Chain A
Amino acid sequence: MTETIDIGIVIDAISIIVIAYLLTWVITFVLTRFSERVGIYRVTVKMVIPLLKFSIYGVAFYYILRDVFALTTTESIAFSGLFGAAIGFGLKDLFADIIGGIVITLEKPYQIGDKITMGDYYGEVQDIGLRATKFVTPGDTLITAPNYMVFTQAVASANAGNPEMMVVIDLFIDSDSHADLAMKILREAVVTSKYVYVSRKRPVAILLKDFPFYRRIRSKAYVNDLRYEFEFESDVTERAWDEFARKGIGAPKVNVLSESAAGNRNARSS
């Protein structure tokens, strides 16, 4: 007996795919909205989205094969062969992307909402899809990276699933300036920022380093919500410099020697 694939079966299969797509869209929309209302649990809620997406598409795929096409054992083996050939010929990249997506979902090298560096790009992960991960750079450029890249190159996640993220802020001051006072001011500018996150596990560190013509004061502190990374940096820098100005702490002096001074210097040294 030969079974045929009629138009009804095709419509059923398409309907299931459309339903799965709509379902993932609705779940993504609802969970994204909900995540904005749960404060510090925002990233945790968003973590569920890719897991649900893959589960829904997996169930849809299984249902199409089992109930709609109702494959027998022989047909299943034949289908596997065809599927293998398809992967070998042209769909291997697509298949690698899907496997990459599953690995990303289970291993969580990064999650939706994380700030990651992948290749030459840095940005916030907006979506982990079946085939690709989408993230937006600080310049509002949407980057679409195939999921298989997780196998071929290192991905750096700045916050590893946490809503808070470390931000390093460097200020450069004149070598003659009072470094202790400048460090105190920078520390206060950091801990009083509305964007800061401070706890025993996430302390603020202020570090000083001397260079030949200037001193670098570096703060290492956590921003409360990684989406405010640049606002935090800007807020701290502005308020620290305002206070530096009030306390007489200056920017590094420009150390450019005039031609004659440089000539005299060379003559002396020779």
Chain B
Amino acid sequence: MGLYKIMNDSKQISAELVGFQEELASIQTAIADFESGRKLNIAVMAEPFAGRTALLDAIEKMNPQKVTRLSFSSIVKNKITLPESPKRIILIDDCQFLYTRKTGGFDVLDDFLELVSPSNYLFITSWNLYSWKYLDEVMNIGRYFPIQVSLSKFTAAEIKESILSKYKPDEIKFVEDVEFEKEKIIEVAKYPLALKLMKKSIPVNIPFLKINFDSIKFILRREEKVAIEDIIFEKILQVSNGNPGVAQVVWQKSLEYPVIKPGRIKEFTFNIDLDYTEAFVLSTILSMKSIKKEELAEIAEYEHTEEILFRLTK
């Protein structure tokens, strides 16, 4: 009876989690294997805001009697110790905070990896994808976590489900807008280029033919008689590249509550030439998700990180 209830609860939690059903199933299988004596540590990796924490939340809820959870919100400076608990499955979120990309910055991670292999605990860890790739190349950490779960990108239907789950039915009005329909399929756009002549930088706009794929899709799909809300979520998918966190931000920026129009969903545009240090700072931020300014300055070994951050955020 008790087992039946737990199974029912698990199904309900699994159903509440949008997407990641395959990932959840493979982790649950690894937990079941651990209970029958086969220990294989797990690493869950994904881009920032791609839903790692939501997945770990679901695992924690599905296994409340077995799981202890640890989370880090900033770079860990001291050796970590495991909590004294009879629960033998340890969930650790944001493991990228266990290292700093500087000399002497791997000691905490080294200690952690020494802890991971011989212990009787099952470790389910989550990592920023970029940090994982770096650490796997540099330290081969993949060998400590034989089960590696890479979170799949959301489909338009999953983005729709996750966003609309926060609203009542029919609360949001999906409206076709004239502005979007009026966008030309092909237009002459200008590509900005800085010409360096006589040691001077001369800005030149080179005209080129820009094909508006969104408008083409819109026209084709209108002929298929697809609902406007599906077109909207298709566009959000395109702009967010299937990242649920980014999709949420795009939705918030485009929503004129309670109305949303396809024309309001704008693609991110940027025209910035990054030098080597700026590109390194940006990649460091992306690989940590969040980092303090002083830590960033220490990693980049650059005193003027404030200026770089200003350029990146403008």
The stretch of B48-56, B96-104, B121-129, B162-170 in contact with A is B96-104
Q: Using Cβ atoms and an 8 Å threshold, which residues of chain B touch A31?
A: none
Stretch at the interface among A88-96, A172-180, A194-202: A194-202
Counting contact residues on chain A (CB < 8 A from B), the size range is 10 to 19
- Interface membership of chain B positions 92-115, coded 1 if the CB is closer than 8 angstroms to chain A and 0 otherwise: 000000000111111000000000
A187-209 CB mask vs B (1 if < 8 Å, else 0) is 01101101100111000100000
- CB of A192 within 8 A of CB of B103, answer yes
A195, B101: Cα distance in complex, Å: 13
Distance of A192 Cα from B139 Cα, bound (Å): 12
What 1/0 flags go to B137-169 for Cβ under 8 Å of A? 110000000000000000000000000000000
B299 surroundings in chain A (CB, below 8 A): 192
Residues of B within 8 A of A195 (CB): 276
- For B103, give its contact among A185, A199, A200 (CB under 8 Å): A185
Do A192 and B137 form a contact, CB below 8 Å, given A33-B193, A228-B276?
Answer: no
Residues from chain B with Cβ under 8 Å of A242 in the complex = 103
Write out, one digit per residue, whether chain B residues 43-68 have a CB within 8 A of any chain A CB (1) or not (0).
00000000000000000000000000
A239–B134 alpha-carbon span in the complex (Å): 20
Give CA–CA (A228, B193) in the complex, Å: 24
Q: State in angstroms the CA–CA spacing of A224 and B127 once bound together.
A: 24
Contact flag A192-B102 (CB < 8 Å), given A33-B193, A198-B137, A200-B137:
yes
Contact status B277-A243, CB under 8 Å: no
The smallest C-beta distance from B59 to any residue of chain A, in angstroms, reads 30
Q: Nearest chain-A residue to B101 (Cβ)?
A: A192
B104 touches A243 (CB 8 A): yes
Tell me the bound Cα distance from A243 to B137 in angstroms. Answer: 23
User: In the bound complex, do residue B104 and residue A239 qualify as a contact, i.e. CB atoms below 8 Å apart?
Assistant: no
Of A188, A194, A239, the contact of B276 (CB 8 Å cutoff)? A194
* A188/B300 contact (C-beta < 8 A), A194-B277, A194-B280, A228-B276 known: no
Within the assembled complex, what's the spacing in Å between the Cα atoms of A240 and B137? Answer: 21
Are B137 and A188 within 8 A (Cβ)?
A: no
Residue of B nearest to A188 (CB): B103
The answer to whether B183 has its CB under 8 Å from any CB of chain A is no
Does B171 interact with chain A (Cβ within 8 Å)? no
Task: Report chain B residues within 8 Å CB of A199.
Answer: 137
Contacts of B102 in A (CB 8 A): 188, 192, 239
B267 at the interface (CB under 8 A from A): no
- In angstroms, Cα B275 to Cα A228, docked, is 12
Q: Which residue of B lies closest to A204 (CB)?
A: B138
CB-nearest residue of chain B to A186: B103
With a cutoff of 8 Å between Cβ atoms, the chain A residues found around residue B276 in the complex are 194-195, 225, 228
Q: Contacts A33-B193, A200-B137, A228-B276 given; indicate if A194 touches B103 (C-beta within 8 A).
A: no
Residues of chain B with a CB closer than 8 A to A188's CB:
102-106
Chain B nearest Cβ from A24, distance in angstroms: 18
4 nearest CB pairs, A to B? A194-B280, A188-B103, A243-B103, A191-B138
Q: Which residues of A contact B (CB under 8 A)?
A: 33, 185, 188-189, 191-192, 194-195, 198-200, 204, 225, 228, 235, 239-240, 242-243
A-B contact pairs, 25 of them (CB 8 A): A33-B193, A185-B103, A188-B102, A188-B103, A188-B104, A188-B105, A188-B106, A191-B138, A192-B101, A192-B102, A192-B103, A192-B105, A192-B299, A194-B276, A194-B277, A194-B300, A198-B134, A200-B137, A228-B276, A239-B102, A239-B103, A239-B301, A242-B103, A243-B103, A243-B104
